[in-house]
């Protein structure tokens, strides 16, 4: 195995149980959590609920919010930065913005919080989880979408709209975009035929389109206040579904699976569970054609199966691809780390430390302010990292530690 | 450590307090007597292991969650339950006084039968079996005689499941007559009924409001859920979190709320509607209103024509023609530039919310004024959106069918409790043969208490469920002693002004100290005893079993969460808003156990903007011009013009407007406004010494009624601070101690609500009941008692 093909050191602990992460903890009920812990079938790099506690207790919520909960003077971390964020990307974002955060804290006479590695793993789990949640929709936009996407040519909403499709108010109580997309997916072939016959273009949904539509349709129903939610999803079951429904025939996850369709660990895939489900809808005609060509039966999903499948795919995306030790070594020099973190340097030597994103983030907060101050005195610029660079750097640093490090801890 | 009074020392304490008050006019003497009583041998040091239990407070409709510390079997301390979403560990003085309620020496011990007459009652203790047997016999007789509808239940305002149980009982028995005593929210509820077409309780998203325009609402003195409001108030001032909400208090008196507000706008009494419409004029004329909201979600803003082509005045034309700034300034006494500034501030600091108008529990306010204030919310786009006016979510599992009589139910006797005495006395539309007062004391608490007294004498069979004898139970045939909150199963729903569906349930904390029962247990025992349909409709061994069944309905809804920490609340809300539900229970039994342990279940997420739910008018919109009022006016007009064409209705009757104020008189030159203090909010709590002590803290005037009077007015009428005075209206006179108060407006005097019971605990019988002299003015449309003030004169006693 070459250095680049080898799983990253910080991932070694996770590969033993591939499926498992955060989304599970967003969605798994405590009973299932207990079962996981007892059975040991799940590996958890962090617990989102504890991460939320850290978010509020450590003072992050004084400035930042998540989906509107918390302070308003700094970005809502459920929305910013945009797009999918893996653990390494979370670390990179935190690292790059740390000096400005410390400066703001200094002005407001607030001491930077300290984190254990466990705290940070939990915080990462929380942020990753909460970023996967869909925001409540905008009904006004949903109303426009319903018209723009020509939904009412076939469907109706109460007394309005066409008669060939079912009344959308039937699903008004369903609050989860995944539930909607699941129903749409199952009926996609029939819908496609009718739309083709009528010359209606296949509607594509982006961003918060599906939650917006749901929000509008919900308002049309007098029984909207009796909601139907999706219950906790199970990524383990999702992995099984991925295999059994034949998804792996075309799709790959990393290096495993087919090559005829996009790699589902791709960073370009959407941020939220609902958006992910909508992407499945968008590609339904193409997938259908491809499956027909390959004589693969088109899978149908129950609500729960769809949720489990997407939870599994999200769990997979938490991790970055393996880093590169050689690139990491170059970065260590190029970014100026080696100037201090060397034998006899003013910073501690890092060769005995096993790193993961959460450990590195904890170190950032615990030692970063002093390090930043020292760098300012020496007029050294605070280094900034791209997410891939963080992975390489961690890979490099971890490669220098004793092999026993992989046994240490679960995070 | 706790204490227990015996009756002798309690009375001694009471007399000592009275003597102290009379001698010095200062309340601290009472406290020293309380301390002296505590130091006596009656103080008992409890023994046994320490434990904590969960309960709920029932001393006001707020229904705060409690944690009760026990030493052995004695409750020794009450504090807030940090898991309860309404109070989050906070507690007001009323909640703390719950221990005095539990160990009060004047509580009733056993059921009692009146062996004397209504005018000269002679109470004889009897068993519960005898009491229930007597009631069963009377109710069977009525039902068998086809007079089931003549049974009336008059309940106190409460949330939770007990109202549902009472309606189910009545429905199975065959009566539609479940009535509730007035609340301070009644005028606002009427406005919501007329303008939004809904009857569910109004709620406010105060925590998220950026600008609060309160028209005399005593926000910090017991309104709504007091602790929840105070939590919101703290949040308004949490500058560190990047927000600062401005509170503007509009009222004639410098109340505690006014004192703590960012701005106090002192207007002439009774002119709230004019001021609200003046602000509306400014919003419209300056183009500051939410035009999108008005266009999309309202009706009657512009002039309009009905299906017959008839022209109708719109809200905009009304305010443009009748409520221009200078006109409103002349009516209200508020400078025009202040009105304009308030409008601009509200428009620039959204979400802004307007509350009111002025209200107390016994005098709910003016529906037209409430409509005027609520119209501001429509103009500001603050209805069913964050920071605005919301509509309380229904508790899952509600089955309204079981609360209605099968088939064609008989017509209701009256629409509101205030109309009950007239119906009883006139026997129209039919007579009342039996009246059940469920912890309701209308003789003391209602402005037409005298009328109630006469009416109760006319009802052949009156039963009162109460923990203490009171002015109404004194006129009953049977008195059934009720348990206090800590002695029985308790449940509360969402309190007033809170939007989220909620069900708090708690088991008894201590064994009942007397032979008392929860009203639910008494009613279920009566249902069993009555048999037939009533027993079949309510097949529950006790109230615990009833509550247990209702929790099944909550479980079936597959939503919400058991009470948890702030963080868990945030978590659950985030999840539900995104369409996920991860409960901590998987069976109804687990839910029941967790509810008992944690204190309750609730729906942490509120779904904003559900227009189909919150606008149930005929237009499906918020109606500046109320078509419901128009329909009622047309019906009245038809009734008045039988056989001929109905007179054209005045559009102003369907639009918010300033009503004509009572005329002044040289004989009664002052205006009396009744005020409410937090310790005695709802007119309740005077029987608890802790609350007596702090009732008039702003004037150091406790333990007795006081009259607030402005120095100029006092000088004009020769009244000195501390002098005993008569306050006399056309209806009668009461005595109080004058307190010079610059916070009172010249020409306006104030008496506190809650004092002056004629019967019951000696503490509750102190002072004067101002409702005895308040002139009864009813809103012609709703029949609701108005809070317009009463003209009085004041002179030395």
Asked if B568 and B604 touch (Cβ cutoff 8 Å), the reply is no
Residues of chain B in contact with residue A221, where contact means CB-CB under 8 angstroms, are: 612
Higher pLDDT, B432 or B608: B432
Residues of chain B in contact with residue A175, where contact means CB-CB under 8 angstroms, are: 576, 579
pLDDT of B766 reads 92
List, for residues A318-356, the tens digit of each pLDDT value: 777 778 899 999 999 999 888 888 888 888 888 777 788
Q: Nearest CB to B559: which of A134, A222, A229? A: A229
Q: Determine how β-strand B50-56 pairs with β-strand B65-71.
A: antiparallel
CATH (domain of B347):
3.40.228.10
Residues of chain B in contact with residue A133, where contact means CB-CB under 8 angstroms, are: 574-575, 577-578, 580
Q: How far is B303 from chain A (nearest CA, A)?
A: 26
pLDDT of B349 reads 96
Higher pLDDT, B280 or B776: B280
Residue B25 has which token pair?
Answer: 């006019």
Q: Nearest-CA neighbor of A322 among A402, A254, A221, A231?
A: A254
Q: Is residue B507 part of a domain?
A: yes
Asked if B471 and B757 touch (Cβ cutoff 8 Å), the reply is yes
Residues in chain A: 411
Q: How many CB pairs under 8 A join A and B?
A: 103
Q: Is residue B402 part of a domain?
A: yes
Q: Nearest-CA neighbor of B370 among B35, B784, B38?
A: B784
CATH (domain of B712):
2.40.40.20
Sheet holding B490-492, edge to edge: B490-492, B502-506, B600-602, B561-562
Residues of chain B in contact with residue A69, where contact means CB-CB under 8 angstroms, are: 570, 573-574
Domain stops at, among B102, B134, B149: B102
List, for residues A169-187, the tens digit of each pLDDT value: 888 889 899 999 899 899 9
- Statement: residue B39 has pLDDT above 80: no
Q: What angle do CA B628, B363, B451 make, to 5 degrees?
A: 100
Residue spans of beta strands (DSSP E) within B632-767: 670-675, 706-709, 724-728, 733-740, 748-752
Give the B window 560-579 contacts with A, CB below 8 Å.
566-568, 570-571, 573-579
**Which chain B residue has its CA at the smallest distance from A110's CA?**
B240
| Cβ <8 Å between B580 and A179 | no
- Averaged pLDDT for residues B228-234: 93
Asked if B467 and B512 touch (Cβ cutoff 8 Å), the reply is no
- Statement: residue B51 has pLDDT above 60: yes
Q: Are residues B335 and B403 in the same domain?
A: no
φ and ψ at residue B131, rounded to 5 degrees: -65, -50
| Cβ <8 Å between A229 and B558 | yes
| Cβ <8 Å between A133 and B243 | no
Q: Is residue B411 part of a domain?
A: yes
Mean pLDDT of chain B: 90
- Statement: residue A15 has pLDDT above 60: no
Asked if B30 and B17 touch (Cβ cutoff 8 Å), the reply is yes
State the Cα–Cα distance between residues A58 and A52, nearest whole angstrom: 10
Q: Nearest CB to A29: which of B240, B573, B582? A: B582
Q: DSSP of B380-430, one letter per residue? A: TT-BSSTTSEEEPPPPTT--GGGGS-SSSPPPPS-SSGGGHHHHHHHT-SS
Higher pLDDT, B277 or B700: B277
- Statement: residue A297 has pLDDT above 60: yes
Ramachandran class of B94: left when φ > 0, alpha when ψ lies in -120 to 50, beta otherwise: alpha
Domain ranges in chain A are: 9-134+324-407, 135-175+177-229+246-300
Residue B600 has which token pair?
Answer: 């309750």
φ and ψ at residue A206, rounded to 5 degrees: -130, 165
List, for residues B253-283, the tens digit of each pLDDT value: 999 999 999 999 999 999 999 999 999 999 9
Q: DSSP of B719-736, one letter per residue? A: PPTT-EEEEE-SS-EEEE
φ and ψ at residue B577, rounded to 5 degrees: -60, -25
| Cβ <8 Å between A232 and B582 | yes
pLDDT of B220 reads 92
Domain stops at, among B102, B123, B151: B102
Q: Are residues B561 and B638 in the same domain?
A: no
pLDDT of B536 reads 96
**Which chain A residue has its CA at the smallest distance from B293's CA?**
A140
Q: Determine how β-strand B211-215 pairs with β-strand B202-204.
A: unpaired
Sheet holding B263-265, edge to edge: B263-265, B246-250, B211-215, B352-356
Residues of chain B in contact with residue A226, where contact means CB-CB under 8 angstroms, are: 396, 557, 559
pLDDT of B624 reads 98
Q: Is residue B662 part of a domain?
A: no
Residue spans of beta strands (DSSP E) within B532-619: 561-562, 600-602
pTM of the model: 0.86
State the Cα–Cα distance between residues B274 and B266, nearest whole angstrom: 13
- Statement: residue A168 has pLDDT above 70: yes
Q: Nearest-CA neighbor of B249 among B229, B278, B220?
A: B220
Domain stops at, among B48, B73, B102: B102
List, for residues B495-550, the tens digit of each pLDDT value: 888 999 999 999 999 999 889 999 999 999 999 999 989 999 999 999 999 999 99
Q: Is residue B386 part of a domain?
A: no
- Statement: residue A46 has pLDDT above 90: no
Q: Are residues B757 and B679 in the same domain?
A: yes
Q: Are residues B177 and B198 in the same domain?
A: no
- Statement: residue A18 has pLDDT above 50: no
- Averaged pLDDT for residues B173-183: 94
Q: Nearest-CA neighbor of B248 among B362, B365, B344, B322?
A: B344
**What is the DSSP-derived secondary structure letter of residue A76?**
B
**Which of B385, B578, B603, B616 should we substitute to test contact with A (largest number of A Cβ atoms within 10 Å)?**
B578
Q: Nearest-CA neighbor of B128 among B115, B141, B113, B138?
A: B113
Residue A327 has which token pair?
Answer: 């690139």
Q: How far is A255 from chain B (nearest CA, A)?
A: 31
> pLDDT category, A5, cuts 50, 70, 90?
very low
List, for residues B53-91, the tens digit of each pLDDT value: 999 999 988 999 999 999 999 999 999 999 999 999 999
Quote the domain boundaries for residue B320: 191-363+621-654
Q: How far is A321 from chain B (nearest CA, A)?
A: 29
Q: Are residues B196 and B177 in the same domain?
A: no
Q: Are residues B96 and B120 in the same domain?
A: no
Higher pLDDT, A159 or B18: A159
pLDDT of A410 reads 27
| Cβ <8 Å between B578 and A136 | yes
> pLDDT category, A24, cuts 50, 70, 90?
very low
**Which of A58, A136, A218 should we substitute to test contact with B (largest number of B Cβ atoms within 10 Å)?**
A136
- Statement: residue A49 has pLDDT above 80: yes
Q: Are residues B595 and B482 in the same domain?
A: yes
> pLDDT category, A407, cuts 50, 70, 90?
very low
State the Cα–Cα distance between residues B647 and A322, nearest whole angstrom: 85
pLDDT of B18 reads 35
In percent, the amount of chain B with pLDDT more than 70 equals: 91
> pLDDT category, B717, cuts 50, 70, 90?
very high
Rg, C-alpha atoms of chain A: 23
Q: Is residue B555 part of a domain?
A: yes
List, for residues A140-154, the tens digit of each pLDDT value: 899 999 999 989 888
State the Cα–Cα distance between residues B357 and B270, nearest whole angstrom: 9
Q: Are residues B170 and B197 in the same domain?
A: no
State the Cα–Cα distance between residues B496 and B77, nearest whole angstrom: 26
Residue spans of beta strands (DSSP E) within B711-789: 724-728, 733-740, 748-752
- Statement: residue A14 has pLDDT above 70: no
- Statement: residue B4 has pLDDT above 60: no
> pLDDT category, A404, cuts 50, 70, 90?
very low
Residues in Cβ contact with B552 at an 8 Å cutoff, skipping those fewer than 6 apart: B397, B588
State the Cα–Cα distance between residues A11 and A86, nearest whole angstrom: 13
| Cβ <8 Å between B582 and A219 | no
| Cβ <8 Å between B612 and A136 | no
| Cβ <8 Å between B578 and A28 | no
| Cβ <8 Å between A29 and B584 | yes
Q: Is residue B779 part of a domain?
A: yes
- When mean pLDDT is compared across A271-275, A379-383, B254-258, B590-594, the lowest value belongs to A271-275
> pLDDT category, A20, cuts 50, 70, 90?
very low
**Which chain A residue has its CA at the smallest distance from B394's CA?**
A225
Sheet holding B50-56, edge to edge: B50-56, B65-71, B74-80
Residues in Cβ contact with B422 at an 8 Å cutoff, skipping those fewer than 6 apart: B414, B451, B455
Residue A224 has which token pair?
Answer: 């909207």
Q: Nearest CB to B612: which of A62, A179, A220? A: A220
- Statement: residue B448 has pLDDT above 70: yes
- Statement: residue B709 has pLDDT above 80: yes
Domains of chain B: total: 4
List, for residues B459-472, the tens digit of each pLDDT value: 999 999 999 999 99
- Averaged pLDDT for residues B27-41: 49
Q: Are residues B735 and B789 in the same domain?
A: yes
CB-based contacts of B283-287 (< 8 A; 24+ apart in sequence): B283/B343, B283/B346, B283/B347, B283/B376, B283/B379, B283/B380, B284/B316, B284/B319, B284/B320, B284/B379, B285/B320, B286/B340, B286/B343, B286/B344, B286/B347
Q: Are residues B452 and B582 in the same domain?
A: yes
- When mean pLDDT is compared across A242-256, B108-122, B258-272, B684-698, the lowest value belongs to A242-256
Residue A394 has which token pair?
Answer: 């961690």
Residues of chain B in contact with residue A174, where contact means CB-CB under 8 angstroms, are: 579
> pLDDT category, B404, cuts 50, 70, 90?
low
Q: Are residues B139 and B85 in the same domain?
A: no
Q: Is the dihedral of CA B273, B275, B277, B283 positive or negative?
A: negative
| Cβ <8 Å between B574 and A31 | no
Residues of chain A in contact with residue B387, where contact means CB-CB under 8 angstroms, are: none
| Cβ <8 Å between B612 and A231 | no
> pLDDT category, B406, cuts 50, 70, 90?
low
Q: Is residue B419 part of a domain?
A: yes
List, for residues A100-142, the tens digit of each pLDDT value: 999 999 888 889 999 999 999 999 989 988 888 888 888 889 9
H helix or E strand, kind and range, residue B189: helix B186-196
- Averaged pLDDT for residues A33-53: 55
pLDDT of B405 reads 63
């Amino acid at each position: 195995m070459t250095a680049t093909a080898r799983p990253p050191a910080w991932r070694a602990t996770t590969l033993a149980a591939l499926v498992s992460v955060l989304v599970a903890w967003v969605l798994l009920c405590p009973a299932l959590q207990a079962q996981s812990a007892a059975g040991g079938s799940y590996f958890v790099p962090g617990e989102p609920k504890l991460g939320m506690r850290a978010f509020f207790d450590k003072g992050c919520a004084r400035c930042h919010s998540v989906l509107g909960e918390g302070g308003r003077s700094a970005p809502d971390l459920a929305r910013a930065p945009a797009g999918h964020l893996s653990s390494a990307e979370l670390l990179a974002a935190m690292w790059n913005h740390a000096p400005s955060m410390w400066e703001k804290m200094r002005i407001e006479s607030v001491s930077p919080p300290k984190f254990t590695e466990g705290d940070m793993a939990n915080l990462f789990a929380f942020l990753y989880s909460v970023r996967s949640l869909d925001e409540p929709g905008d009904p006004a936009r949903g109303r426009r979408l319903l018209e723009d996407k020509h939904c009412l040519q076939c469907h109706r909403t109460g007394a309005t709209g066409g008669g060939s499709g079912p009344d959308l108010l039937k699903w008004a109580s369903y609050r989860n975009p995944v539930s909607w997309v699941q129903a749409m997916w199952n009926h996609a072939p029939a819908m496609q035929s009718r739309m083709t016959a009528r010359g209606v273009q296949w509607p594509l949904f982006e961003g918060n389109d599906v939650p917006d539509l749901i929000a509008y349709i919900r308002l049309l129903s007098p029984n909207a206040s009796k909601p139907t939610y999706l219950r906790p999803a199970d990524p383990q079951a999702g992995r099984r579904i991925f295999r059994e429904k034949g998804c792996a025939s075309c799709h790959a996850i990393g290096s495993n699976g087919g090559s005829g369709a996009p790699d589902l660990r791709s960073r370009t895939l959407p941020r939220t569970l609902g958006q992910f489900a909508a992407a499945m809808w968008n590609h339904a005609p193409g997938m259908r054609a491809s499956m027909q060509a390959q004589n693969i039966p088109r899978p149908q999903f129950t609500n729960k199966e769809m949720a489990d499948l997407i939870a599994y795919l999200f769990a997979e995306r938490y991790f970055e691809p393996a880093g590169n030790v050689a690139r990491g070594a170059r970065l260590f020099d190029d970014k100026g780390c080696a100037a201090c973190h060397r034998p006899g340097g003013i910073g501690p030597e890092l060769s005995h430390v096993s790193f993961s994103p959460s450990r590195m983030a904890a170190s950032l907060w615990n030692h970063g302010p002093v390090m930043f101050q020292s760098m300012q005195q020496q007029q050294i610029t605070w280094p900034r990292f791209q997410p891939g660079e963080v992975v390489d750097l961690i890979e490099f640093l971890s490669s220098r530690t004793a092999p026993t490090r992989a046994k240490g801890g679960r995070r | 450590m706790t204490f227990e009074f015996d009756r002798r020392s309690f009375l001694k304490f009471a007399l000592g307090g009275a003597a102290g008050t009379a001698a010095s006019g200062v309340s601290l003497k009472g406290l020293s007597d309380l301390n002296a009583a505590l130091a006596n041998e009656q103080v008992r040091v409890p023994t046994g292991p320490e434990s904590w239990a969960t309960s709920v407070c029932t001393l006001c409709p707020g229904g705060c969650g409690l944690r009760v510390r026990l030493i052995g079997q004695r409750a020794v301390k009450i504090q807030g339950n940090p898991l309860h979403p309404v109070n989050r560990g906070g507690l007001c003085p009323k909640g703390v006084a719950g221990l005095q309620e539990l160990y009060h020496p004047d509580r009733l011990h056993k059921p009692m039968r009146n062996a004397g007459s209504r005018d000269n009652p002679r109470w004889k203790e009897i068993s519960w079996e005898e009491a229930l047997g007597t009631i069963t016999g009377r109710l069977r007789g009525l039902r068998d005689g086809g007079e089931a509808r003549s049974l009336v239940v008059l309940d106190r305002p409460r949330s939770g499941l007990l109202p549902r149980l009472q309606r189910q009982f009545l429905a199975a028995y065959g009566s539609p007559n479940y009535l509730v005593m007035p609340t301070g929210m009644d005028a606002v509820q009427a406005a919501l009924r007329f303008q939004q077409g809904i009857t569910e309780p109004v709620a406010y998203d105060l925590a998220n409001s950026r600008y609060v325009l309160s028209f005399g609402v005593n926000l910090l003195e017991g309104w709504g859920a007091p602790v929840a409001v105070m939590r919101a108030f703290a949040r308004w001032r949490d500058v560190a979190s990047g927000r600062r909400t401005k509170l503007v208090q509009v009222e004639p008196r410098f109340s505690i709320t006014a004192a703590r507000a960012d701005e106090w706008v002192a207007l002439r009494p009774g002119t709230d509607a004019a001021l609200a419409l003046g602000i509306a004029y400014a919003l419209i004329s300056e183009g500051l209103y939410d035009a999108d909201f008005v266009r999309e979600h309202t009706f009657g803003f512009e002039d309009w024509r009905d299906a017959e082509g008839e022209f109708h005045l719109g809200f905009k034309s009304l305010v443009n023609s009748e409520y221009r700034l200078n006109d409103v300034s002349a009516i209200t006494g508020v400078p025009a530039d202040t009105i304009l500034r308030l409008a601009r501030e509200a428009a620039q600091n959204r979400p802004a919310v307007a509350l009111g108008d002025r209200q107390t529990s016994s005098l709910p306010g003016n529906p037209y004024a409430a409509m005027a204030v609520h119209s501001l919310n429509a103009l500001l786009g603050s209805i069913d959106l964050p920071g605005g006016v919301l509509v309380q979510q229904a508790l899952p599992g509600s089955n309204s069918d079981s609360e209605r009589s099968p088939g064609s139910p008989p017509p209701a006797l009256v629409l509101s409790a205030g109309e009950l005495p007239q119906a009883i006395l006139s026997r129209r539309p039919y007579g009342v043969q039996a009246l059940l007062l469920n912890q309701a004391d209308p003789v003391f608490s209602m402005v037409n208490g005298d009328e109630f007294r006469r009416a109760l004498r006319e009802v052949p069979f009156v039963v009162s469920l109460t923990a203490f004898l009171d002015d109404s139970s004194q006129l009953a045939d049977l008195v059934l002693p009720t348990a206090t909150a800590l002695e029985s199963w308790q449940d509360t729903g969402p309190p007033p002004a809170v939007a989220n569906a909620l069900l708090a349930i708690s088991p008894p904390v201590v064994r009942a100290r007397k032979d008392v029962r929860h009203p639910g247990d008494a009613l279920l025992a009566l249902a069993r005893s009555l048999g037939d349909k009533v027993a079949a409709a309510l097949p529950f061994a006790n109230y615990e079993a009833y509550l247990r069944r209702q929790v099944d309905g909550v479980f079936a809804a597959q939503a919400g969460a058991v009470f948890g920490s702030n963080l868990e609340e945030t978590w659950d809300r985030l999840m539900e808003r995104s369409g996920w539900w991860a409960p901590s229970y998987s069976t109804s039994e687990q839910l029941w156990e967790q509810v008992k342990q944690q204190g309750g279940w609730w729906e942490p997420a509120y779904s904003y903007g559900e227009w189909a739910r919150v606008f149930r008018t005929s237009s499906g919109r918020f109606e500046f011009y109320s078509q419901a009022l128009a329909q009622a006016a047309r019906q009245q007009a038809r009734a008045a013009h039988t056989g001929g064409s109905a007179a054209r209705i005045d559009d102003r009757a369907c639009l918010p407007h300033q009503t004509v104020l009572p005329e002044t008189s040289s004989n009664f030159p002052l205006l009396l406004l009744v005020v409410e203090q937090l310790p005695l909010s709802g007119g309740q709590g005077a029987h608890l010494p802790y609350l007596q002590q702090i009732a008039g803290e702003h004037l150091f005037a406790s333990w007795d009624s006081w009259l607030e009077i402005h120095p100029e007015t006092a000088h004009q009428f020769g009244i000195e601070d501390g002098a005993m005075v008569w306050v006399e209206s056309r209806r009668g006179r009461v005595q109080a101690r004058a307190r010079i108060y610059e916070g009172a407006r010249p020409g306006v005097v104030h008496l506190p609500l809650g004092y002056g019971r004629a019967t019951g605990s000696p503490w509750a019988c102190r002072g004067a009941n101002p409702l005895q002299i308040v002139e009864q003015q009813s809103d012609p449309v709703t029949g609701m008692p108005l809070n317009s003030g009463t003209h009085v004169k004041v002179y030395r006693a």
